A and B are shown apart, each in its own frame.
Chain A
Amino acid sequence: MKEFLMPSLGADMEDGTLVEWRKKPGDPVTRGDIIAEVDTQKGLIEIEVFEDGYVDKLLVDPGEKVPVGTAMALIRTGDSETGQEKEQGLEFPVSEKEKVVLQPTEEHFDEKPLPQKFPGKRIKASPLARRIAEENKIDLSKITGTGENGAIIKDDVNKAIEQRTAPETEEKISETLPEKEPEKIADSGKSIRMAVAAAMSKSNREIPHYYLSKKIDMSKSLYWIKESNKERSVQERLLPAALLIKAVAKSLDEVPQLNAVWENALQIKNEINVGFVVSLRSGGIMVPSINNADLKSVSQIMDSLNDLIPRARAMKLRSSELNSSTITLTSLGEGGADTLLGVIYPPQVAVIGFGGIIEEAWAENGMLGIRPVINASLSGDHRATDGLTGNRFLTILNKNLQNPEDL
Chain B
Amino acid sequence: MSQTRKITYREALKEAIREALTENDKVFLMGEDVGRYGGAFAVSKGLLEEFSEERIMDVPLSESGFVGAGIGAAMAGLKPIVEVMTVNFGLLAMDQVVNNAATMLHMSGGQINVPVVIRMSCGIGKQLAAQHSHSWEPYYAHVPGLRVISIGTHEDARGVLQAALQSPDPVVIFEYTSMLNMEGELPEETIKVDIESAKIRREGTDISIITYGAAVNKCMEAAEELKVEGIEAEVLDLRVLRPLDEAAFLASVSRTHRALIVEDAWRSVSVSSEVSARITEKAFYELDVPVKRVCGAEVPIPYPLHLEDASVPQKKDIVEVVKKMIRP
Contacts and interface: CB of A to CB of B under 8 A. Distances in A.
A149 B328 CA distance: 8
Interface string B243-270: 0000000000000010000000000000
A389 interface: no
B290 A154 contact: no
Interface string A100-131: 00000000000000000000000000111111
A127 B328 contact: no
A153 interface: yes
A77 B286 CA distance: 32
B328 A126 contact: no
Contacts of A149: 328
Contacts of B324: 148
Summarize B's interface: helix, strand, loop or mixed.
loop
A5 to B, nearest CB: 31
A159 to B, nearest CB: 14
Contacts of B328: 146-149
B290 A128 contact: no
Contacts of B41: none
Contacts of A130: 285
Interface in B32-64: none
A146 B286 CA distance: 18
A127 B286 CA distance: 7
Chain B CB within 10 Å, residue with most, of A126, A151, A154: A126
A153 B290 CA distance: 11
Nearest to A145: B328
A128 B253 CA distance: 11
Contacts of A151: 289
Interface residues of B, number: 11
A148 B257 contact: no
A127 B328 CA distance: 17
Contacts of A147: 288-289, 328
A159 B289 CA distance: 17
Interface in A131-165: 131, 146-149, 151, 153-154
B195 to A, nearest CB: 33
A226 B289 CA distance: 52
B284 interface: yes
Given A147-B328, A148-B328, A154-B257, A131 B290 contact: no
Nearest to A156: B288
Contacts of B284: 127
Contacts of B287: 126-128
Chain A CB within 10 Å, residue with most, of B257, B287, B288: B288
Interface in A147-188: 147-149, 151, 153-154
Interface string B84-115: 00000000000000000000000000000000
B43 to A, nearest CB: 45
A115 to B, nearest CB: 27
A13 to B, nearest CB: 35
A127 B291 CA distance: 12
Contacts of A126: 287-289
A154 B288 CA distance: 6
A127 B285 CA distance: 5
A172 B177 CA distance: 67
Interface string A222-245: 000000000000000000000000
Contacts of A154: 257, 288
Nearest to B284: A127
Interface in A295-338: none
Contacts of A128: 257, 285-288
B288 A148 contact: no
15 contacts: A126-B287, A126-B288, A126-B289, A127-B284, A127-B285, A127-B287, A128-B288, A146-B328, A147-B288, A147-B328, A148-B289, A148-B325, A148-B328, A153-B289, A154-B257
Interface of B: 257, 284-290, 324-325, 328
Interface of A: 126-131, 146-149, 151, 153-154
Give me the 4 closest cross-chain CB pairs, A-B, nearest first.
A148-B328, A128-B288, A126-B288, A131-B285
Given A127-B284, A128-B287, 16 more contacts: A126-B289, A127-B285, A127-B286, A127-B287, A128-B286, A129-B288, A130-B285, A146-B328, A147-B288, A147-B289, A147-B328, A148-B289, A148-B324, A148-B325, A153-B288, A154-B288
